[in-house]
Amino acid sequence: MRATLSIAMCTYNGARFLEAQLHSIAEQSRRPNELVVCDDDSTDETHSILNRFAKSAPFSVNIHRNPVRLGSTKNFERAIALTTGDLIALAD
């Protein structure tokens, strides 16, 4: 049986680069089973980009918005904890 793959992504005001990164993930020859995104209370267009992508992604996209900034390490800990895959790849 093939292992399931999760991507744990953390974002914070990364709208300028986010669409290219999401496109790259979606175009991989081995797509993830899920993308879990934890956003660290972005104030730019990050949320709209994520929501738009989630509607058309060829895999499950779970978006979680932190009500307060956790910082990089705690945000990644949260994202990893929310994944369900056998294998986890990190992205930020």
Whether 40 and 71 have beta carbons less than 8 Å apart is answered as yes
Rounded Cα distance between 43 and 38, Å, is 14
Written as six digits, the tokens of 71 are 């910082």
- Tens-binned pLDDT, residue by residue, of the chain (92 aa): 889 999 999 999 999 999 999 999 999 999 999 999 999 999 999 999 999 999 999 999 999 999 999 999 999 999 999 999 999 999 98
Q: Residue 70's pLDDT is what?
A: 94
Q: Phi/psi zone of residue 10: left (φ > 0), alpha (ψ -120 to 50 degrees), beta?
A: beta
DSSP 16: H
Does the reported pTM lie above 0.85? yes
In whole angstroms, what is the distance from residue 44 CA to residue 27 CA? Answer: 25
Tokens of 8: 């744990």
CA distance 91 to 46: 15
